[in-house]
């Protein structure tokens, strides 16, 4: 029983690390929106190509789903506003 508990805890920790890495990747995608070096007339396909070079499509979908389910802490919003 202890072995199963250790395996489950390890799996949970690895999943949390994976999510954190994916969220860091998502931040690089968001930075594309504020990157002053990208001309406003740059075709979207070029920006998409850059985005996919940073994070693959599957991980973008996972990030999107994860962020859609995040429960927001209003106190943090007030602090950063």
For the chain, the domains span: 2-80
Q: Which residues contact 40 (CB under 8 A, 6 or more apart)?
A: none
| The pLDDT value given to residue 15 | 80
Give the pair of three-digit tokens for residue 67: 């962020």
Q: How buried is residue 22: exposed, middle or buried, by Cβ count under 10 Å (0-12/13-18/19+)?
A: middle
Q: Is the pLDDT of residue 72 over 80?
A: no
The whole-model pTM stands at 0.60
Confidence bin at 39 (pLDDT 50/70/90): very high
Instruction: Read off the pLDDT of each residue in 8-33 and give the average, rounded to a whole number.
Output: 84
Confidence bin at 50 (pLDDT 50/70/90): very high
Q: Is the pLDDT of residue 52 over 70?
A: yes
Q: Report the distance separating Cα 81 and Cα 29, nearest Å.
A: 22
What Å distances lie between residue 67 and 7, 33, 37, 46, 61, CA to CA?
Answer: 27, 17, 27, 25, 10
């Amino acid at each position: 029983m202890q072995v199963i508990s250790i395996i489950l805890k390890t799996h949970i920790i690895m999943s949390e690390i994976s999510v954190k890495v994916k969220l860091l990747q998502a931040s690089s995608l968001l930075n594309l929106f504020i990157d002053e070096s990208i001309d406003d007339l740059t075709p979207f396909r070029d920006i998409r190509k850059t985005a996919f070079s940073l994070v693959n499509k599957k991980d973008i979908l996972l990030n999107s789903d994860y962020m859609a389910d995040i429960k927001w802490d209003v106190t943090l919003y007030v602090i950063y506003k």
